[in-house]
Structure 1
């Protein structure tokens, strides 16, 4: 068996037989890979802590493209404690890894994407707004699904100094002079349009804090969710859970509990 050492991010795990686990790890050299972790469910198993979801570490095992890989050991690993314990952070991080799992084939090199995903998770762990971090990744990953909206200017005339609306039909922004061309376009607040353009350019490995108000965050969710629903055709269970959380939050704000 050819044993390799690699950096990885644990995406999820599933029970397999009485004492074993199937563990999906986003690996630096080979993208998402499913591993068999023998004995990882046994009491005091050495691999048990290292294969918890949202764990980053150094792993050793066999990497196979067309068959099950095997995990043998791990070291220098750490669980993202804040992300795991915070409900909203956990939901967004789980969704991000699920989205990456769909965007990339198992066993295929993902080049610089590994570093972007790792940077996103570290920012969420540091307490940055998880929605904005994941919105950046959602926008960047659209290209993996063959969708490449124009965010920074009108697709008809190229102007960027007028109020904008998002048009699925035209594949990007329409300025107020051309918005009439698509009666179904999504009209946006100026700040929302500006943030869509900004987030499409951000490198998460070098980003500072991005302060976004609740109204703008709602506008970002509206546009990005529409694209993933209608153009990508992707409706992940983890994303529906996030949408439900925002709905609960909105209802609580409208109807606060009485003392």
Structure 2
């Protein structure tokens, strides 16, 4: 998900693994020798990797092999932007050393979709929606979070990220309004694993983008999850 040059020949890489969550590892000699890691440390690659413990929380990356590459993303600037933003979302929200298999699967599906030409912005928004749900932060969209009243079918609803979902007018409403179409879209995206093959209507896209931005801003000011680090003698797993 991220690579930083370290000393004369090494790199520190941040990786999302299937079995051990997000972790950082030292890839010794990665800058000077292509033979040891090949193209596996390039962006948008699913690989098999072997680690061993290092100092502190930084593991040592021993060897890797490419499982699948998604370099079709590199042919489209919008896809590159969406993939980079998606990985930044994962990097920010997923705790270190805490397995999240559903997030891993969603990330691989996102890279596959972008590689195959899916609409970039809709793909990114879908990943954000699903990541919130998987990590337990999905907003309440089927009833008022304060009084429990169900909104009328086919009607828009006020949305307040700080309160965790939609808020009816009697309870004061919210800062944003989500149309019935945007609410339906959100619920469908959250419940499925596939990504959109076609662009969404512009209004739905904008409303969902604004609601997600409000949720992100609220998340940035509140500690919502404890981060834990688990030590192990060795780790093996796949990672994108």
Q: Which residue of 1 aligns with 2:209?
A: 221
Q: What does the per-residue CA deviation read over 1:45-100, in whole Å, with 9 as the maximum and x for residues that have no partner?
A: 33141101221111223256943211222223443212233222111211221221
Shift of 1:211: 4.2
Classify 1:210/1:167 alpha carbon distance in 2 versus 1 (closer, same or farther; 3 Å): same
Shift of 1:104: 2.1
Contact 2:103-2:131 within 8 A present in 1 as well: no
**Of 76, 80, 89, the match for 2:79:** 89
> Which stretch of structure 1 is more off in the superposition, 78-87 or 59-68?
59-68
Structure 1: runs of 5 or more not aligned? 1-10, 235-259
Identify which of structures 1 and 2 has the higher relative contact order when contacts are C-alpha pairs closer than 8 Å and 6+ apart. Answer: 2
**Of 11, 15, 18, the match for 2:8:** 18
> Which stretch of structure 1 is more off in the superposition, 124-133 or 42-51?
42-51
> Which stretch of structure 1 is more off in the superposition, 76-85 or 192-201?
76-85
Q: Which residue of 1 aligns with 2:26?
A: 36
Q: Equivalent residue of 1:47, what SS?
A: coil
Given the two structures, how large is their TM-score scaled by the length of structure 2?
A: 0.78
Runs (4 or more) in structure 1 with deviation over 4 Å come to 63-66, 143-146
Q: Equivalent residue of 1:51, what SS?
A: coil
Q: What does the per-residue CA deviation read over 1:11-51, in whole Å, with 9 as the maximum and x for residues that have no partner?
A: 11110111111111111111112111111111543314110
Q: Distance in 1 between matches of 2:193 and 2:34?
A: 40
Aligned-CA RMSD value: 2.6
Given the two structures, how large is their TM-score scaled by the length of structure 1?
A: 0.73
Q: Distance in 2 between matches of 1:184 and 1:106?
A: 33
Classify 1:98/1:64 alpha carbon distance in 2 versus 1 (closer, same or farther; 3 Å): farther
Q: Superposed, which structure 2 residues align to 1:191-202 within 5 Å?
A: 191-202=181-192
Q: Distance in 2 between matches of 1:199 and 1:208?
A: 9
Q: Superposed, which structure 2 residues align to 1:95-174 within 5 Å?
A: 95-142=85-132, 147-155=137-145, 156-168=148-160, 170-174=163-167
Number of aligned residue pairs: give it: 218
> Which stretch of structure 1 is more off in the superposition, 11-20 or 110-119?
110-119
Structure 2: runs of 5 or more not aligned? 222-240
